[in-house]
Structures are given as C-alpha cells and as structure tokens.
Structure 1
Amino acid sequence: MKNMIKKVNQLITRKAISVKLAVSNNSGEGYIDTAVKILISVVLGALLLAGLYLLFGEVVMPTLNQKIQEMFNYAG
C-alpha cells in the first residue's frame, strides 16, 4: 500500500511540475502579436496603394496621355 501511495505521489508531482513549466513558458508568439503585425501590414499596404493611385492618376497618366497624343499627332 505504501508503494502505491508513493507512486501516486510521484505521478502527481510530475504532473504538477509539467503544468507549472507549461504555464510559465513564455516562448513562442501570441495571437495578439500576430494580429497586430497583420493589421500594421494591411494599413501600410493600403496607404502605399492609395499613394500609387494618386501618383498614377494625377501625375503619370496625364503626362502619358499627352506624350502619346504628341507622338501620334501627324499634323504638327
């Protein structure tokens, strides 16, 4: 009977140590960190895309249209 109580006590102690190690382990990456990284990348991507649309819409396309019209203007 003493041997069985000793084995159960050892098993409970091992399980308690493994639970304590698992709870105190802070390695790895949490869900909040990943969500913040994804949110930052989406916002930066949207800002970059909006900047490119503004650049192409107001600067590049009118200049490109003017150059093409000048290139195919046979009259003068």
Structure 2
Amino acid sequence: MRNLILTTQIKTMNMVGKVKKALTSKSGEGFVDTAVKILISVVIGALLLGGLYILFQDTILPTLTQRIKEMFNFKG
C-alpha cells in the first residue's frame, strides 16, 4: 500500500512539473509572426478603404448630391 501511495505521489509531482513547464514556456508564436499578421491586415484594410473611397467618389457621391439638389429645388 505504501508503494502505491509513493508511486501516485511521484506521478502527481511529475504531472505538476509538466503543467508548470507548459504554462511558463516561452516558445510559441513569435514577434515576427505577429508583426506580419498586423502588416497584412493593415494593407488589406487600406486597400478596402481605398476601393470604397474610389467607389463613393466616382459613383455614389455625384448622384447623391444631384438628388439632394433636385430635392431642395422642387418647384411644385
């Protein structure tokens, strides 16, 4: 019975050691990976905003201003 308790204690201590090692491990995702992800998201966001700006400037805004002027120049 004493051997069983001792074996269980040793296995528990080994598990606690593995868990501590896993939690304090500094390996994983590095700074370069994170920087590349941020850079890609900024570039894609800038492209989307640029596309929306071009769409609104050339297509939507001229017709919108024309419709607003026509609405206020109503001569019933």
Q: TM-score, normalised on structure 2?
A: 0.60
Q: Distance in 2 between matches of 1:35 and 1:51?
A: 24
Q: Which amino acid aligns with 1:44?
A: I
Identity %, equivalent residues: 66
List alignment gaps of at least 5 residues for structure 1.
1-20
Provide runs of 4+ in structure 1 moved above 6 Å. none
Q: 2:13 corresponds to which residue?
A: none
Q: 1:31 corresponds to which residue?
A: 31
Q: How does 1:36-75 map to 2 (within 5 A)?
A: 36-75=36-75
Tell me the alpha carbon deviations over residues 1-46 of structure 1, each in whole angstroms, 9 at most, x when there is no partner: xxxxxxxxxxxxxxxxxxxx9xxx7841011110110110010010
Q: Distance in 1 between matches of 2:26 and 2:74?
A: 73
Size of the aligned set, in residue pairs, is: 53
Q: Distance in 2 between matches of 1:74 and 1:63?
A: 17
Q: Which amino acid aligns with 2:51?
A: G
Q: 2:3 corresponds to which residue?
A: none
List alignment gaps of at least 5 residues for structure 2.
1-20
What root-mean-square deviation, in Å, do the aligned CA atoms of Structure 1 and Structure 2 show? 2.2
